[in-house]
A and B are shown apart, each in its own frame.
Chain A
């Protein structure tokens, strides 16, 4: 989609002098009119001021249309003034990489030069092709995807899903890597206070007074919450905003208090572990590279005070989603805090006094109030009196039956509701702003995340925190305490109690004398009454939106109930209500209201859905933190690594280790050998002369103690009691279920000391399993385990000339065949440093593995390499090692085995100590399925044409005709070209493999036209391809 990102960011100065903001008031609010800012939205330049959000600045310019809805592409405007915004999602770009989609314009702080674009529209906001979905909305009911895109099955992946994904969706993510830095911090505190409105400030002051370590976080740039827009109230005789400033100054002066503005508590995890994201630079025009963009705070709080406030509820009436329809409290905030008029002529639909407060604030600034439609039948109180006194037209017992306007609301249909519930005659009122005051919803998301139980409060018609599952208490709006005095005293109490629960107490409680007009805060739930007989409307086109972000309507929810989705969890998923990025902040309670009406059940009977992290969307950056690129995982390097790198090795990752895979040589023309050529050369060098290989990454465990042999007997399938000191044995370890876990050579250094080697990848799990049995099953055994992987460098010297290479270097070790036969070891010195020298071979050639203390690894390697020069000693890598061992039929655990192979399956039945009464996994080997002759067994394969190198993982079948489906007999586990044999070889796990030697089987491979298969004929052979008698070892 040509979203023309390039036209919306760049360096063009916006100083061309944007028109002044036509909807900005002349005075008041917490903005700085003396600091004008310029910004761009969809390429057009506008003016704003310091202290604006993108939303307030757009409204100051009369811009309400800011997005298109997710499903129907309906024009949408700014509905809220905070993190609950469902509609105004924008993409903010500093450059092609620093582009963040799906930000709420209500939370984006304005800076000079900010560039934002709207989303989900093509080609433009005002004319959007996708709006066709709105015309055909009757074809897109709830569950549309599930019902429509069922058949044919293959169409889902190829046609439907790509189509749906391209048509739907929110913003687009940038494709360039994120150039910003993200940091992670861990913090501990006695009391974490979430939200810095009146309750949060009072709680923080109380806890700080008691001497507690306090963290106070708030998602907004400025702390103070509702007090920042409160023009009526006083606290301790001071205007609310002045009290906020003093409270914050006092908190900032406390040594044990940390204030975190612009910080959202997004996740609540077990044991009072919370995730907070601090946005450090997103509000700056020119962020310093010294400062990370965001910080993840992982806070472990002894006690939490949830003072996140309450969210105003929209009303559920037809066409409640047009631009210019806004929550009453949001409109009040725009006027009082940002000095912005969201319209010129307003209609207010109110279920409580919030609508009056907004209407009066707007009227004071000259906005015409065309009507206050009060849903209550007989309201009373100070706010009503004030409205009447101000001459505002109040009508009670009213409902909203519809709205008009295309890109902006231009009229509202109001009707009275009679005593019997019938809806009276409709009257249309012209307006450019419609406010909704549907009541309050405590922001209980984090309480719900903490697994606390919510309680439905009948009087409030809202869920409030009930029984806590963790040390958390709520205060203020989040606890249903909507009045200022209640919020302050509730916060104070929560702060004192939290500090005491954290073991800190002693402060004398403060008394907050407040003057604040009392307000009715009742709530309504469910769709507003509207005429049953449609008045000139097509009923199928009347939609009252419940979830604005996911475009689900009251009708969708009713349909879900009719179709049998009675559980709230099912109805929610079927209609996707509450499942958008706003986590149902404005839609959850309206959804429950509609479901309650549709099912004829009370709200508690309908049930509640669980809120999950994150509270608002978070970047991936904070979770990655510094763990990117090189730092994503630690890399383990052997002491010989620098030598290998200097000699041109190509490395591969094996677990966290970097291992030399092969050592390509340079041709005379400067080109490097390819891998096949290098491996063939290295293989022949080992078979014909001598090679040197870095085996340092092998896991090494020292098993020590008087019961070491007994412990080894129990852990490994092999017998160890009779293994002499100075001798080695190839050990195989099973899991208790009888399947091969690991293997490696074990040397007996002393009667009570074994030098155990494991596979490179298995070292940690083998040690863990040994410790498990030792600590929890056989605690009586006197054995100690020590990982010595990092302590020894291991240099394998393999090939017919290996002895000649080492002989001049060793001291006190007789390398002769008589003194040091195959599978023997000797301790002594090499190049003057101590060594454990094993005569072992993973190649089938005469071989030694020289263990030296890791710090001497490179020095000894270089000495051996030097000593081997007369014999053409050739460094080789893991690829060559793999080929050499495959030529000998030696398995690699994890390549031939896959967690379902017994020792017998891979030809290692001989290693089992038959006389041993028990070892880990022994009992499992006699279960009937483990002895089935049809089990997959290790076998060798050679291609019938003598040329084709099979693909590892390819399947084996018996039928050359390639009729689909085919019965699979096994699969190729290892496959290489053998230079010494002059043809390809492969190992396979094949059903009944040992009884199939000589058979011809087939490997089906895709060939030619897409979808067609051709067989490769292979012959089954014994798995040892080279020197089956083992004569090359005994030299």
Chain B
């Protein structure tokens, strides 16, 4: 079980969290302007990263906040967590 450092609450066991998929995929400002292909890409296409992955988590059984996390998918090492809306930090 991961030990996840919630940016608002500190380290908490993974059981308290819910995974939220890849981070930094903004909903298009004007979906109507997108072609079917572009919209499908937004809906369905996600990276399958081997290595450092930016992903969303929600501390659903804690502060209930969404936040982002850099995690190495090969080792589960958590590089950092940061607040929603902040840019992805340089991989440390």
Contact = CB atoms under 8 A, between A and B. Distances in A.
B2 A271 contact: yes
Contacts of A300: 3, 13
A996 interface: no
B92 to A, nearest CB: 17
B76 A270 contact: yes
A775 B84 contact: yes
A917 B31 CA distance: 9
A779 B3 CA distance: 27
A922 B31 contact: yes
A273 B43 contact: no
A923 B1 contact: no
B55 to A, nearest CB: 12
A737 B66 contact: no
Given A298-B1, A923-B34, 6 more contacts: A270-B2, A271-B3, A768-B58, A771-B64, A779-B85, A923-B32
B3 A772 contact: no
B1 A271 contact: yes
Contact of B56 (A469, A470, A736, A776): A776
Contacts of B26: 777
Interface in B57-85: 58, 60, 64-66, 74-78, 84-85
B56 A923 contact: no
A928 interface: yes
Contacts of B74: 451
Contacts of B85: 776, 779
B43 A775 contact: no
Given A271-B3, A768-B60, A776-B56, A918 B30 contact: yes
A510 interface: no
A1000 interface: no
Most chain A beta-carbon neighbours within 10 Å: one of B3, B31, B56, B76: B31
Contacts of A469: 75, 77
Given A271-B3, A771-B64, A923 B84 contact: no
Contacts of A917: 32
Nearest to B31: A923
Q: Which 7 A-B pairs have the closest CB atoms?
A: A923-B31, A270-B76, A271-B3, A775-B66, A273-B1, A469-B75, A777-B27
A269 interface: yes
Nearest to A774: B66
Nearest to B25: A776
B20 interface: yes
Given A270-B2, A927-B36, A776 B60 contact: no
Given A918-B30, A918-B31, A736 B43 contact: yes
A924 interface: yes
Interface of A: 269-271, 273, 298, 300, 451, 469-470, 736-737, 768, 771-773, 775-777, 779, 917-918, 922-924, 927-928
Contacts of B75: 451, 469-470
B46 interface: no
A270 B2 CA distance: 6
B39 A779 contact: no
Interface in B1-19: 1-3, 13, 18
A541 B66 CA distance: 65
Interface residues of B, number: 29
15 contacts: A269-B1, A451-B75, A469-B75, A470-B75, A736-B27, A768-B58, A772-B20, A773-B27, A775-B65, A776-B84, A918-B31, A923-B32, A924-B39, A927-B40, A928-B36
B76 A923 contact: no
Nearest to B77: A469
B52 to A, nearest CB: 15
A300 B20 CA distance: 25
B43 A271 contact: no
Interface in B25-56: 26-27, 30-32, 34, 36, 39-40, 43, 56
A271 B76 contact: yes
Contacts of A298: 1
A773 B20 CA distance: 12
A270 B73 CA distance: 11
A298 B14 CA distance: 13
Nearest to A269: B1
A927 B76 contact: no
A923 B27 CA distance: 11
Nearest to A920: B27
A737 B43 contact: yes
A918 B32 contact: yes
Nearest to A773: B27
Nearest to A771: B64
Contact of B1 (A270, A772, A776): A270
B68 to A, nearest CB: 9
A322 to B, nearest CB: 45
Contact of B39 (A451, A773, A927): A927
B17 to A, nearest CB: 12
Nearest to A764: B60
Nearest to A186: B13
Contacts of A776: 56, 66, 84-85
Nearest to B36: A927
B82 to A, nearest CB: 13
A923 B31 CA distance: 6
A1006 to B, nearest CB: 38
Contacts of B13: 300
A775 B13 CA distance: 22
Nearest to A738: B43
B29 to A, nearest CB: 9
Nearest to B1: A273
A622 to B, nearest CB: 15
A4 B65 CA distance: 59
Given A270-B1, A271-B76, A779-B84, A772 B31 contact: no
Contacts of B84: 775-776, 779
Nearest to B40: A927
B76 to A, nearest CB: 4
B87 to A, nearest CB: 14
Contacts of A271: 1-3, 76, 78
A772 B19 CA distance: 12
A959 B54 CA distance: 53
Nearest to A271: B3
B69 to A, nearest CB: 13
Contact of B3 (A273, A737, A922): A273
Contacts of B1: 269-271, 273, 298
A923 B18 CA distance: 27
A497 B78 CA distance: 23
B70 to A, nearest CB: 15
B67 to A, nearest CB: 9
B64 to A, nearest CB: 7
B66 A772 contact: yes
Contacts of A736: 27, 43
B75 to A, nearest CB: 5
Nearest to B43: A737
B26 to A, nearest CB: 7
Contacts of B30: 918
A276 to B, nearest CB: 14
A922 B58 CA distance: 25
Contacts of A918: 30-32
A300 B4 CA distance: 13
Contacts of B2: 270-271, 273
A923 B20 contact: no
Contacts of B32: 917-918, 922-923
A190 to B, nearest CB: 15
A780 to B, nearest CB: 10
A565 to B, nearest CB: 26
Contacts of A273: 1-3
B20 to A, nearest CB: 7
A228 B58 CA distance: 51
Contacts of B40: 927
A922 B66 CA distance: 24
Contacts of A779: 84-85
A470 B58 CA distance: 25
A779 to B, nearest CB: 6
